[in-house]
Amino acid sequence: MTTHFFRTGRSAGRERVSGTGLADRLTVFLATGFFISLIPEKLTGFRKFTGAGFMGTALAFLMFPLLPGGTAAYGCFLALFFIFSVLVADRASSIYGTHDDPRIVIDEVAGYWIAAAFMERTIFSLTTAFIFFRILDTLKPWPIKKLEKSLEGGFGIVFDDALAGIEANLLTRLLLVFWPAK
């Protein structure tokens, strides 16, 4: 028996997405950032441009203090989380039946954690990385947009955000050179 547990943002005759069991429910729970990406859709009624990406990045920002602090430990964690994100995003994409569904925000979490990687953990640097990441993830300048369209599956979903994270990290570091946090 198939259990229907998530809907898209379409109004009349809402389309339902089916999940077949606990594994699918856990995948959706993780891919949606503990269901945080479902909140904006419920508030706005829109399926695209819901603010789900912002919510996913905000979740990553709030969880950042819980991550490993040492360079080697953080690097290992980030590499493992990237792989984990690819697997979860790929499975969630299959569940939702569409590539890079806006409800999938685990890619924003990975992208922000890359944006904030290996720098001082000050509110200034973390907030600056947040702002740069959101701008780059939203506008998708070259080569991010090209990669988003050319890469498939979970890797394609996560990699464009990882690249936005790398660019945000570099921009944050550049800004800190000219405007050091005190």
pTM of the model: 0.86
DSSP 73: H
Confidence of residue 39 (pLDDT cuts 50, 70, 90): confident
Structure tokens, 5: 């547990």
pLDDT at residue 40 in the model = 78
pLDDT tens-digit series, residues 110-154: 999 999 999 999 999 999 999 999 999 999 898 888 887 789 999
Count up the domains in the chain and report the number: 1
pLDDT at residue 19 in the model = 57
Angstrom CA distances, 3 to 17, 32, 103, stand at: 9, 18, 19
What range does the domain containing 60 cover?
A: 3-178
